[in-house]
């Protein structure tokens, strides 16, 4: 089943004080993961991506369309006629998508986030349990460009990769669409999986009924269904409390980038240590 294609107009740019406007790619965790997955394909592949980033910033990529298993785009090179770029990524089978939908439906927080139009940050960990990933793995991605350059990726292909990261920033549901399930189909799979599955054994024993996905409401998602005193809490200490901060990047402010990042990481580390001591009842 083909996902609906998406034509991408000229995206926005980020202003730099005292300099020209500069486009940035991968502003979300999923956009960053797309680029990181490409860099992980090998030093040769990663080494040629930077040329594409510069090319993409010039606005050379047009007519970008994402469909199930395929991305196409036109890239203006040195010649009058644009080059045609095609990317192909393996799609998941229907059986795999059913397994993915079941796994996502079992994770209520994932289901609620997806229904709210957000991509859960640890969704790929859930998909890993099904043996798949939303992001390219070695051997899954093939690329072709009509230019005469023998290198693959050429700068035209690399430019499309960066525009894809920017496009995924805007619409994360294009990631599953590229793997064979657009937003409507994915949410329908989630609802079917949620409605068709019985509650886990622990919930059945407690007398709780499964809730259909389309009946979930964000304002009541975390309401307690019983006595909170019976809940056994087993906190786990974070090995790297500053990881999320580094993914977000340094905050805006008067401090220099390095100073701000160091200060915030130090504050987060101390806050995490205090939270751990409070959670475990330790003092000092």
Q: Do residues 118 and 197 share a domain? A: yes
Q: Do residues 48 and 116 share a domain? A: no
Q: Which pLDDT value is given to residue 94?
A: 92
Residue 232 is assigned to a structural domain of this protein: no
| Greater model confidence, 205 or 275 | 275
Q: Do residues 187 and 268 share a domain? A: no
| Greater model confidence, 105 or 240 | 105
| Mean of pLDDT over the chain | 76
pLDDT band at 200 (very low <50, low <70, confident <90, very high): very low
Which among 59, 71, 58 is positioned nearest to 6, based on CA atoms? Answer: 71
Enclosing domain of residue 106: 99-131+182-220
What value does the mean pLDDT take over residues 16-26?
A: 51
The answer to whether residues 130 and 99 touch, using CB atoms and an 8 Å cutoff, is yes
pLDDT band at 213 (very low <50, low <70, confident <90, very high): low
pLDDT band at 224 (very low <50, low <70, confident <90, very high): low
Residue 225 is assigned to a structural domain of this protein: no
- Quote the CA–CA distance of 187 and 260 in Å, as a whole number: 40
| Of the listed ranges 4-8, 23-27, 79-83, 196-200, the one predicted with least confidence | 4-8
Task: Please enumerate in sequence order all residues whose Cβ is within 8 A of that of 128, keeping only pairs 6 or more positions apart, or say none.
Answer: none
Q: Is the pLDDT at 270 greater than 80, yes or no?
A: yes
- Quote the CA–CA distance of 35 and 153 in Å, as a whole number: 13
- Quote the CA–CA distance of 39 and 20 in Å, as a whole number: 27
Residue 158 is assigned to a structural domain of this protein: yes
Q: Which pLDDT value is given to residue 8?
A: 41
Q: Is the pLDDT at 228 greater than 70, yes or no?
A: no
pLDDT band at 4 (very low <50, low <70, confident <90, very high): very low
Q: Do residues 35 and 107 share a domain? A: no
Q: Do residues 19 and 60 share a domain? A: yes
- Quote the CA–CA distance of 228 and 280 in Å, as a whole number: 18
Q: Total domain count for the chain?
A: 3
Q: Do residues 151 and 261 share a domain? A: no
Query: Token pair of 75, please?
Result: 């890239």
Q: Do residues 158 and 67 share a domain? A: yes
Predicted confidence (pLDDT) per residue in 116-140, tens digit: 778 888 888 889 999 999 999 888 9
Q: Do residues 167 and 262 share a domain? A: no
| Greater model confidence, 198 or 276 | 276
For the ranges 52-56, 80-84, 107-111, 237-241, the maximum mean pLDDT occurs at 80-84
Final residue before a domain boundary, out of 174, 201, 234: 174
Q: Do residues 152 and 263 share a domain? A: no
Query: Token pair of 279, please?
Result: 């959670």
Predicted confidence (pLDDT) per residue in 54-86, tens digit: 888 888 899 999 999 999 999 998 888 999 999
Residue 124 is assigned to a structural domain of this protein: yes
For the chain, first and last CA: distance in Å?
A: 60
Give percent of the chain with pLDDT exceeding 90: 26
| Greater model confidence, 216 or 96 | 96
Q: Do residues 26 and 166 share a domain? A: yes
Residue 122 is assigned to a structural domain of this protein: yes
Taking every pair of Cα atoms in the chain, the longest distance, rounded to a whole number of angstroms, is 71
Residue 249 is assigned to a structural domain of this protein: yes
Q: Do residues 85 and 193 share a domain? A: no
Residue 226 is assigned to a structural domain of this protein: no
Residue 234 is assigned to a structural domain of this protein: no
Q: Do residues 268 and 167 share a domain? A: no
Count Cβ atoms below 10 Å from residue 177 Cβ, excluding itself. Answer: 25
**What letter would DSSP give residue 182?**
-
């Amino acid at each position: 089943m083909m996902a609906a294609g998406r034509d991408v107009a000229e995206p926005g740019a980020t202003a730099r004080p005292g300099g020209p406007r500069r486009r940035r790619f991968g502003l979300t965790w999923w956009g960053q993961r797309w680029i990181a997955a490409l860099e992980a394909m090998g030093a040769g592949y990663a080494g040629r991506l930077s040329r594409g980033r510069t090319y993409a910033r010039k606005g050379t990529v047009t007519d970008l369309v994402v469909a199930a298993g395929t991305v196409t785009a036109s890239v203006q090179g040195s010649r009058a006629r644009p080059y045609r770029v095609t990317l192909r990524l393996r799609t998941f089978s229907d059986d795999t998508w059913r397994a993915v939908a079941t796994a996502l439906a079992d994770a209520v927080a994932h289901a609620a986030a997806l229904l709210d139009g957000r991509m859960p940050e640890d969704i790929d960990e859930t998909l890993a349990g099904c043996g798949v990933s939303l992001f390219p793995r070695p051997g899954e991605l093939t690329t072709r460009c009509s230019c005469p350059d023998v290198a693959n990726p050429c700068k035209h292909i690399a430019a499309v990769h960066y525009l894809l990261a920017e496009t995924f920033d805007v619409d994360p549901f294009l990631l599953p669409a590229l793997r064979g399930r657009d937003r409507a189909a994915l949410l329908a799979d989630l609802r079917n999986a949620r409605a068709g599955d019985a509650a886990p054994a622990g919930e059945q024993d407690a007398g709780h009924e499964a809730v259909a996905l389309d009946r979930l409401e964000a304002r009541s998602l975390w309401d307690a269904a019983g006595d909170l005193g019976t809940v056994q809490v087993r906190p786990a200490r974070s090995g790297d409390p500053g990881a999320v901060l580094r993914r977000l990047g340094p905050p805006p402010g008067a401090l220099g980038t390095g100073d701000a990042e160091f200060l915030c990481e130090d504050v987060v580390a101390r806050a995490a240590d205090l939270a751990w001591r409070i959670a475990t009842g330790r003092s000092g």
